[in-house]
Structure 1
Amino acid sequence: MIEVENLTKRYGDKTAVDALTFTVKPGIVTGFLGPNGAGKSTTMRMILGLDRPTAGTATINGQRYADLTAPLRKVGALLDAKAVHPGRSAYHHLTAMAATTGVPRARVDEVIDLVGLHGVIRKRAGGFSLGMGQRLGIASALLADPEVLILDEPVNGLDPEGILWIRTLMQDLATQGRTVFVSSHLMSEMALTAEHLIVIGRGKLIADVSVGEFIAQASPDTIRIRSSRAAELHRMIAGPETTIRTVERDVLEVSGVTAEQIGDTAAAHGIPLYELTHKRPSLEEAFMELTRDAVEYQATATIAEATGALAR
C-alpha cells in the first residue's frame, strides 16, 4: 500500500506538488493521471525517495522508501527506461542488479522470458528501440518480485501486442494482491487497465475515485435519438430534469431520461425510431472536461492561423 499525506514540493516560488493526500490500495490497478506539468513524476520520485518533500509524507507499507530493508524486494519502479548503461547488455544489466540485491540468477532468466527479450538479451542496451528499452525497464522493476509496482508511462513505445501484454501483466499482478500504481497519457488504455484513478492538476488533487465515478462526474450519460418526428418527440419528453440538444435534423441528444422511457413514449404515440443509442462519455472526454482549468501548456493558435502567419 502507498500512502501519501499532505505531500508538497516547492522549487523556489513554484509549487510542483501541493498538499496531495491519497492512498493506493493493493489488489487493483490504480491509474495516475494529469496534464503535462501536473506533478505526477515529481510525486512518484518523492514516493521513491528520489526527491525530498518540502512538506508531508509518502510511505510504502507504512515506511518511507529510505527506511525499507531490501527496498527492491518491496518496490519495483520504472521511471526512466533509458537509465541503463548503453554499453551493457540487457543480460548483464539484470545480472548486476540481481547480484546487488541477492536475487537468484535463475530469476533473471524468468523475467527475460516474461518480458519477451530472450532474442536480444545479449545485445547492448544502447541499441535498443524505445519499446525494447521499456521491456527491459519493466524486467528490472519485476526482478526482485516486489509487492509494490510504480510505473511511469509503461506503454510508451510499445506496439499493440506489447500494450496488450503490459495491460494483462499489470492486471494479473494486481489480482495477486500487489499494489500497482501506473501513470499514462493514453486515456483509452487507462480505461481498459485501471479500476481506480488518482487525478491531479497543477499539483493539486482533482479526483480520487473509480473510473466509472470519474466519468460520471464529468458528464451525464446521454441518449441519441434519430426519428423523422424528432421535433414532436422533443416536446413530449421535455421537462425540468431533462436536457435536450438538437444535433442535426431529425437527431437529438437527451440526458435526464432513460432510453426505456423514450422508447415507451415513442411507441405510445406511434413515432418511428431509427436510432435509440445509449452514449457514455469516454475517459478521455471526462479527463479533458475535469482538467480543463488545470492545463499548464495550451496552444493559443490554430493550424490555419499559424500557416497564415508563415505565408505573410
Structure 2
Amino acid sequence: MIEARALTKRYGDKLAVDGLTFTVRPGVVTGFLGPNGAGKSTTMRMILGLDAPTSGTVTVNGRPYLAHSAPLHEVGALLEARSVHPGRSAYNHLLALAHSNGISRSRVDDVVEAVGLAGSARRRAGRFSLGMGQRLGIATALLGDPRTVILDEPLNGLDTEGIRWVRALLRNLADDGRTVFVSSHLMNEMALTAEHLIVIGRGRLIADTSMAEFVASRGRSVVRVRSTDPRALAARLEAPEVEVSHDGGGSLTVSGLTTDQVGRAAAAAGITLLELTARQTSLEEAFMELTHDAVEYRAPSTAGAAS
C-alpha cells in the first residue's frame, strides 16, 4: 500500500506537487494520470525516496521507502528504463542487483524469461531497442518479487504484443494481491487495464475514484442516428441542452439525448430510422474535459499555426 499525506514538493519558486493526499491499495491496478508537467514523475520520485518532500509524508507498506531494510523486496519500480550501463549485458545488470540484494541467480533467470528477454539477455543493454529496454526495466522492477510495483510509462516503445503482455502482467500482479501503481499517456490502454484512477493537475489532486465512476461522471453519452430525412430530424431534436451535428451520409451525432428520446422524436415526426446507436464518453474525453484548465503546456491551435 502507498499512502501520501499532504505531500508537497517545491523547487525554488516552482510548486511541483501541492498537498497531495491519496492511498494506492493492493489488489487493484491504480492508474496515475495527469497532463505533462502535472507532477506525476516528481510524486513517484518522492515515493521512492529519490526526492525529499518539502513537506508532508509518503509511505510504502507502512514505512518511508528508505526505512525498509530490503527495499527491492518491498517496491519494484520503473522510472527510467535507460538507467542501465550501456556496456553491461541485461543479464549481468540484473545479476549485480540480485547479488547486492540477497536475491538468487535463479530469480534472475525467472524474470528474464518472464519478460521475454531470454534470447537477448547476454547482449549489451546499450544496443537494446526502446521496447527491449522497457522489458529490461520491468524485469528490474520484478526482480525482488515485491509487494508493490510502480511503473512510469511502461508501454513506451512496446509493440502490440508487448502492450498486451504488460496489460496481462499488471492484472496478474493485482490479482495476486500486490499494489500496482502505473502512469501512462495511452488512454485506451489505461481504460482497459486500470480499475482505479488518481488524477492530478498542476500538482494538485483533482480525482481519486474508480474508472467506471470517473468516465460516467464526465460528459454525456453520444447518439449516432441515420434516417431517411436527417435535416428534418435535426430540426426536430434541436433544444438548448442538445447538440446536433451532421456527419455526412445521412448521419447525425446527437449529444444530450438518449436513444429512447431520439427514437420517440423520430416516430412523432414520421421519420424512419435506419440506425440508432449510443456511445459512452471515453476515458480520453473524460480526462481532457477534467484537466482542460490544468494543462501547463498547451500547443497553439491548428488555425493559429496555419495563419
TM-score, normalised via structure 2 length:
0.92
Q: Give the letter aligned to residue 49 of structure 1.
A: G
Code of the residue aligned with 1:194 in structure 2: it is A
Matches of 1:110 and 1:251, distance apart in 2: 54
Amino acid at match of 2:242: T
What secondary structure does 2:171 align onto?
helix
Report the 3-state secondary structure (helix = DSSP H, G, I; strand = E; otherwise coil) of the residue aligned with 1:224: strand
Q: Which residue of 1 is the match for residue 173 of structure 2?
A: 173
Structure 1 unaligned residues grouped into runs of 5+: none
- Matching residue of 2:57: 57
Post-superposition offset of 1:254: 3.4
**Distance in 2 of aligned mates of 1:81 and 1:231:** 54
C-alpha separation between the residues in 1 aligned to 2:268 and 2:302?
Answer: 48
For residue 172 of structure 2, what is the amino acid of its counterpart? D
Letter in 1 for 2:121: I
Q: Which residue of 2 aligns with 1:41?
A: 41
Q: Which residue of 2 aligns with 1:253?
A: 253
Q: Find out whether 1:147 has 2:147 as its counterpart.
A: yes
| Percent of residue pairs identical | 63
Contact 2:247–2:253 (CA under 8 A) maintained in structure 1: no
Cα 1:10/1:30, change in 2 over 3 Å: same
- Partner residue in 1 for 2:197: 197
CA contact (8 A) 1:224 1:253 kept: yes
Residues 303, 225 of structure 1: alpha-carbon distance in 2 compared, 3 angstrom cutoff: closer
Q: Offset at 1:79?
A: 0.5
Question: Which is worse superposed, 229-238 or 94-103?
Answer: 229-238
C-alpha displacement of 1:68: 1.5
Give, as a single letter, the amino acid of the residue that structure 1 aligns with 2:93: H
CA shift for structure 1 position 146: 0.5
Q: Is the CA contact 2:224–2:278 (under 8 Å) kept in the aligned structure 1?
A: yes
Distance 1:114 1:138 in 2: 10
Q: Return the letter of the residue paired with 1:214.
A: F
Separation (CA, whole Å) in 2 of partners of 1:257 and 1:287: 22
What residue number does 1:93 align with? 93
CA contact (8 A) 2:24 2:181 kept: yes
Contact residue 226 and residue 275 of structure 2 kept, 8 A: yes
* Residues 244, 252 of structure 1: 8 Å contact kept: no
Corresponding residue for 1:3? 3
**Cα separation, 1, equivalents of 2:64 and 2:107:** 27
- Paired letter, 2:244: R
Partner Cα separation in structure 2 for residue 261 and residue 286 of structure 1? 23
Question: How far is 1:13 from its partner?
Answer: 1.2
Amino acid at match of 1:12: G
> Secondary structure of 1:291's match?
helix
Deviation at 1:101, TM superposition (A): 1.1
Structure 2 spans left out of the alignment, 5+ residues: none
Distance in 2, matches of 1:253 and 1:294, equals 28
SS in 2 for 1:278: strand
Q: Does the 8 A contact of 1:34 with 1:40 survive in 2? A: yes
The residue aligned with 1:274 is: 274
Question: Matches of residues 150-299 of structure 1 in structure 2 within 5 Å?
Answer: 150-230=150-230, 232-233=232-233, 243-247=242-246, 251-267=251-267, 270-299=270-299
Q: How many residues align?
A: 306
Query: Which amino acid letter does the alignment assign opposite residue 299 of structure 1?
Result: A
Residues 76 and 144, structure 1, Cα contact 8 Å, conserved in 2: yes
Alignment of 1:117-156 (within 5 A): 117-156=117-156
Are the counterparts in 1 of residues 238 and 244 from structure 2 also a CA contact under 8 Å? no
Displacement of 1:24 in angstroms is 0.8
Deviation at 1:182, TM superposition (A): 0.3
Distance 1:148 1:109 in 2: 21
Deviation at 1:222, TM superposition (A): 1.9
Q: Distance in 2 between matches of 1:258 and 1:50?
A: 50
2: distance between equivalents of 1:248 and 1:118?
Answer: 50
Deviation, 1:228, is 2.8
Q: Distance in 2 between the 1:285 and 1:256 partners?
A: 15
Following the alignment from structure 1 to structure 2, what is the Cα–Cα distance between the partners of residues 265 and 14? 54
Could you tell me how far apart the structure 1 residues matched to 2:161 and 2:304 are?
A: 37
The AA in structure 2 aligned to 1:25 is R
Counterpart code for 2:9: K
Q: Is the 8 A contact 1:234 1:244 kept in 2?
A: no
Q: Note closer, same or farther for the CA distance 1:247–1:269 as it changes in structure 2 (3 Å cut).
A: closer
Q: CA deviation at 1:202?
A: 0.7
For each residue in 1:164-212, what CA deviation from the matched residue of structure 2 results, as whole angstroms up to 9, or x when unmatched? 1111111111111111000111111111111111111110111111222
Identify which range, 152-161 or 284-293, moves more after superposition: 284-293
| 35-44 or 218-227, larger mean C-alpha shift | 218-227
Shift in alpha-carbon separation, 1:295–1:304, aligned structure 2, 3 A: closer
The code of the aligned residue for 1:102 comes to G
Any idea what SS the aligned residue of 2:197 has?
A: strand
